[in-house]
Structure 1
Amino acid sequence: MSLHEVFGPAPVLALLGLALMAAWAVWWIVRYALADTMTRASIRQAVRVRRTWKRFAPMAGLSVTDKTPTMLASWSNTDGKPIKPRIIAPTLKVKPDRFGIVARANCLPKVSLEEFQKAAPYLADAWRCTRVSVQPDGPGQVVIRGVRLDPLLTPTARIPTGQMPEQLATWDLGVDEYGQPVSVKLSQVPGVTVAGLPGFGKTCLINGLVCDWAPSPAIQFVGFDGKVSAAHEGDYADLVKRMFAFVGDDMDEANGLFNRLVDLRRARSSAIRAVLGVKSMWDVGPSEGWPFVVVIIDEAHTYFRDYKGNDPESKKLARLAAENARLVEDLVKKGRSVGLLTILATQKSTGDAIPTFIRDVCPVGLSFAQKTAEAAVAALGEDIRNWDDANPINLQDPAYVGVASMSHQSRPGFARIRTPYVSDMDAARIADDTTSLTRDPAELLERMLPSGAVPLTKKEGATPAL
C-alpha cells in the first residue's frame, strides 16, 4: 500500500505549508536586512504590538464580552456546565515605516472611534510612542498612527527626481507630526501666503515647489525677490533660468512686471472662451500652450511698503507701492479661473506687509516660526489662538527650522508640517535640465489667438520681456 493511499494528500499539503512559511520567513528577513536603521526599529515595534495586542486590548478597555456561545461551543458542551463568555478584541493590522507604525482596527459594539481616542495615551505608553493619533478610516474602521520618533524634530531632505509631476497643481509640503505625507491641491486656488521669521524655511519651501513642478512645460514661473537687487543674487539665483521673468527690489521694474502680468490676466480672461471653449481653465487643465502661471513674490512687504515723506522720491515710491497692491489684488481676485496662482512670502503677514484686501482672499496660508501672537493670527487666522500646540510662536527653537503650521484641510484644527530641505546643488541641476521649457505665457497666448488679434507683447505701454 502506497504512502499516498495511507495518508492521503496530508504530506503534500504539509510540505506546501512549510514551503509557504519558509518563503514568508525569507521575505521577512530580506525586508528587514534591506531596511534602514529607523525602519528596522519600527519593524521590531510592529512585531511587539501584534504579539501583545490580545492581552493589552482588554486592559485598555478596547474589548467586549460576548456572552452568547458559539454553535461549536454549544455542541461540545456535554456536561451541562455554563459556557464561559468570550473576550473579543478588535482585529489589528500593523504596518511599520521609518517613524513608527500605522495600525488599522475594526470597531466593535461599545468599542468605537471615541473609545480608541480615549485609549490613545495608553496606546502611546504601551507601544513606546512619542504620540498616537486615532482617526476614522471608513465605516466601522479606525486608523491608529503611532510615532516612535518625532517627525517634527527629524530633519528631512528631498532630492528632486526631475520627472514630470504625477498631478499638476498639487504641492507636496512634507510630513505632519505623525509622519504622514501632507499635500495641498492648488487648482482653483487664487493665492497662498507663507509667513515666518528669517531663516526658518520660507524660501526653501518655495524652492522645493519650483523644483517639483519645473519638469512640466504646462507650468511657468515668474519671480519677485524683495531682498536682492539682481537675478544672480539671493536664494533664487539657481532657479531664475526656469522663470520667464524676474525682478529684485527695484520698485519701477517690479511695477512694470506686475503690469505685464495684469495684461496677461486680462488677455486670458478675454480669450479663454475663444481659445479653450470654457469659462475656467481648470475645466480642461493646464497645457503647454496655456500653462499654469505661478507668481512668486518673496519678501512681499518690499513692494507694498507704506512710504512716508513729502520729498519727490518718497511720493514716487508711495505711488508705486499703492499701484503694486492694486495690481496684485487684481491677480489674486481675478486670476484663478485663467490659471494664475500668486504666492506671497513675508516675515509677518500683517496688514502693513501684505494688504488685508490681498491676504484675506488667499485661502491657503502657512506660517513658520513667529515671535508674536499678532503675527501668528495674521498668518493663520483667529482660530489659531485655540490651538496652542500648533501655534507658530512655539516653533522658535532652532530644532524647528523647516517646520510650519497650516490649517488642516481634512479635519478641524491645524497641522504642523516638517518641510524637506532641497539643496542648492539639486535646485541648480533641475533648473539646468528644464530651462529649455521656459516660455513667456503672453507669447504662447499670441500664437493661440485668432489671426488679426493685437499682439500682447506689442501693446502700447506694455513692459518688454526681461
Structure 2
Amino acid sequence: MKDQNALAEGVVGHTPLFVVLVLAVIVGWAVWWVVRYLRADAMTRQSIRQAVRVRWGWKRLAPMLKLSVTDKTPTALATLANTNGKPIKPRILIPALRVTHDAYGVIARARCLPGVGLQQFQKAAPHLADAWRCTRVAVTQDKPGQVLIRGVRLDPLKFPTEHRPTGDVPDETARWDLGVDEYAQPVSVDLTQVPGVTVAGLPGFGKTSLVNRLLSDWAPSPAVQFACADGKVSAAYEGDYADWVQRMFAFVGDDLEEANKLFRHLVELRRARSASVRSVLGVKSMWDVGPSDRWPLVVLIIDEAHTYFRDHKGSDPKTKKLAALAAENARLVEDLVKKGRSVGLLVILTTQKSTGDAIPTFIRDVCPVGLSFAQKTAEAAVAALGEEIREWPDANPINLQDPTYVGVASMNHQSQPGFTRIRTPYVPDADAARIAEQTASLTAGPYTLLEAVLGPRMGELDLVKADSESA
C-alpha cells in the first residue's frame, strides 16, 4: 500500500513537468508555423490558407462527393463493448488525406478504400476544384493504394519563368528538362533511343529559348557534342547561337551548300560509327553503355529547317542547283534520323510550320517527340502534333496565340495519354553566354574522337565505306 501511495505521489509530482513539456512542444510548433507563414511570399500564403481549409473541410466534403464508404461489420472492440445487445451502428470510413502546398495551390495524397479508388477520385475532380477554389484539379495514381490530387489555384502557364543553369554536369545525359505543366509539375522527356525531335510554332513564341535550355543544361557534359545549322543567319556571329558557337564543333548559316557539307560529314560519321560500334563499344547500340567522352552523343540542331529543305521552283541554273541541294539535304538528314539512333545521333528540327513543305514527311514522321508553340491554323497544329490533337481541344496550340502564352507549348507526353501544355522557362542571355564560355574547352569533333580511338583501323572503315558506296 505504501508503494502504491509513493507511486501515485510521484506521478502527481511529475504532472506539471509533463504539462510544461507538452505546452512547449505546442508553442514551438505554433511559432515555427507562424514564422514560415510570415516568411512566405503572398502567393504561398494564399496556398497555406487554402491547404488549411482543405484539411478542415475534408471529413465533411468527402461524403458529399461519395468519397466515403459505410462499414457495417463491427470491430472486435465494438462487439466486446456492446453489453446491452442493441445493434451496432455502422462506421463511415473516409480516406485519410495529407495536404501540402506550393505557390500555385495544394498537393494532396489520399489513401484508397474499397470502392473508393482512382476512378472515383477522378470523377469527383471537377467538384473538388469547386470546393477547393481551384482553377483545375488532376488526380493520378501515386502508388498502389494511394492517389495524388493536384489542385492549382493559379494557372502556371500564365506566369513566365526563368532558368538559371548551374554549370554542373547533368545526372542523366539524355534527360531534357522542359519546364512545368498546367499543374506546375516538372516535365522532362527522355531522349534515350530517340532519333529526332521536331519543334514548331510561330516566330517569337519560344522555340529557340527551348533549345537554349537544352544547350545550357547539356553543355557541361563532355559526353555531348553539338552542331548547328541556323537558317535565320548567314554567319556564326549573328543570331541566337552566336555565344554557343564556341561550344559547337560545327556551325553553318543559311547557305545550302555549306549545310550540305555539314550533313554529309555527319552521315559519314554515322557510317563510321555503325561500322565500328561493336569493335569499340562491344555492343550493337551505343545506348547499351551510354554516351562517353570518346563516343559522345551528337546533337544536330537544325533551326528554321525549312530553309534547307524547301522545294525551289524554276528552270534557271541557280534555282536548279538550289533545288538539287535541298533534295540532297533532305536525303542526308533522313539518313541521320532513320539510322543514327543506335550510334548516338540526335537531330532537333525547329520550324514555324512543320508541314510537309517545311520538314519532309519522311523525316518528320519518324521523329517520336514533337512539340508545338502557338499556331494559327488547325492544319499547322495537326502537322506538328498529329491528327490526335483534334481530340484534345484544350491542348491545341491554336489556343496559345495570346501573348500571355509566349513560352507555352503543347506536346504528347511520354508518360501519360493525350497531350499536355508546358511552360518553358527563359534562359537569360548572360547565363547562356557564361555556360558557353565555361564549357568551350569541352568541344571536340566526334569524327576526330573516333579516329583517335580506332587509330590505323580507321582506314579499313574508309575502304568498307567506299566499297558500299560503289556497290
Counterpart CA distance in 2 for 1:16 and 1:439 is: 65
Cα offset, 1:3, TM superposition: 7.7
Deviations 1:373-400 (A, max 9, x none): 1111111111111111111111111111
2:360 aligns with one of 355, 358, 363: 355
Question: Which residue does the alignment assign to 1:248?
Answer: 253
Are positions 1:221 and 2:226 aligned together?
yes
Counterpart CA distance in 1 for 2:200 and 2:9 is: 76
Question: Which residue does the alignment assign to 1:414?
Answer: 419
Contact 1:442 1:456 in 2 (8 A): no
What amino acid does structure 2 have at the position aligned with 1:444?
Answer: L
Question: Which residue does the alignment assign to 1:464?
Answer: none
Aligned pairs (5 A) from 1:319-398 = 319-398=324-403
Counterpart CA distance in 2 for 1:403 and 1:30 is: 35
Question: Which residue does the alignment assign to 1:437?
Answer: 442
Counterpart CA distance in 1 for 2:211 and 2:257 is: 25
Question: Which residue does the alignment assign to 2:193?
Answer: 188
Counterpart CA distance in 1 for 2:8 and 2:82 is: 37
Deviations 1:423-457 (A, max 9, x none): 11111111111111111111111110133533999
1:311 aligns with one of 311, 316, 338: 316
* Structure 2 CA distance for partners of 1:455 and 1:257, relative to 1, 3 Å: farther
Cα offset, 1:79, TM superposition: 3.8
Contact 2:219 2:436 in 1 (8 A): yes
Q: Which has the higher helix share?
A: 2
Contact 1:113 1:136 in 2 (8 A): yes
What amino acid does structure 2 have at the position aligned with 1:132?
Answer: V
Question: Which residue does the alignment assign to 1:167?
Answer: 172
What amino acid does structure 1 have at the position aligned with 2:30?
Answer: A
What amino acid does structure 2 have at the position aligned with 1:189?
Answer: V
1:399 aligns with one of 391, 398, 404: 404
Deviations 1:336-371 (A, max 9, x none): 111110000000111000001100100000011111
Counterpart CA distance in 1 for 2:455 and 2:233 is: 40
Query: With structure 2 as the length reference, what TM-score do the two structures score?
Result: 0.93
Contact 2:277 2:284 in 1 (8 A): yes
2:70 aligns with one of 61, 65, 71: 65
Cα offset, 1:95, TM superposition: 1.4
Relative to structure 2, which stretch is displaced further, 150-159 or 300-309? 150-159
SS in 2 for 1:439: coil
2:116 aligns with one of 111, 115, 124: 111
Cα offset, 1:10, TM superposition: 5.7
Contact 1:446 1:455 in 2 (8 A): no
**Sequence identity, in percent?**
72
Counterpart CA distance in 1 for 2:254 and 2:100 is: 50
Question: Which residue does the alignment assign to 2:137?
Answer: 132
SS in 2 for 1:410: coil
Deviations 1:313-352 (A, max 9, x none): 0000001000000100011011111111000000011100
What amino acid does structure 2 have at the position aligned with 1:45?
Answer: Q
Contact 1:190 1:335 in 2 (8 A): yes
Cα offset, 1:21, TM superposition: 3.5
Aligned pairs (5 A) from 1:213-292 = 213-292=218-297
Cα offset, 1:23, TM superposition: 4.2
Counterpart CA distance in 2 for 1:6 and 1:371 is: 78
For structure 2, the residue ranges without an aligned partner over 5 or more in a row are: 1-5, 467-471
Cα offset, 1:238, TM superposition: 1.7
Counterpart CA distance in 1 for 2:13 and 2:276 is: 79
Cα offset, 1:213, TM superposition: 0.5
Deviations 1:161-207 (A, max 9, x none): 11111211000011111111110000100000000111110010001
* Structure 2 CA distance for partners of 1:158 and 1:79, relative to 1, 3 Å: same
Deviations 1:63-111 (A, max 9, x none): 1122223333333334443333222110001111121111111111221
Relative to structure 2, which stretch is displaced further, 15-24 or 373-382? 15-24
Counterpart CA distance in 2 for 1:359 and 1:4 is: 85
Are positions 1:123 and 2:128 aligned together?
yes
Question: Which residue does the alignment assign to 1:148?
Answer: 153
SS in 1 for 2:243: coil
Contact 2:105 2:154 in 1 (8 A): yes
Contact 2:275 2:461 in 1 (8 A): no
Counterpart CA distance in 2 for 1:380 and 1:452 is: 44
Contact 1:446 1:456 in 2 (8 A): no
* Structure 2 CA distance for partners of 1:455 and 1:97, relative to 1, 3 Å: farther
Aligned pairs (5 A) from 1:440-451 = 440-451=445-456
SS in 1 for 2:143: coil
* Structure 2 CA distance for partners of 1:310 and 1:401, relative to 1, 3 Å: same
Counterpart CA distance in 1 for 2:245 and 2:227 is: 9
For structure 1, the residue ranges without an aligned partner over 5 or more in a row are: 462-466
C-alpha RMSD over aligned residues: 2.1
* Structure 2 CA distance for partners of 1:259 and 1:82, relative to 1, 3 Å: same
Counterpart CA distance in 1 for 2:254 and 2:341 is: 26
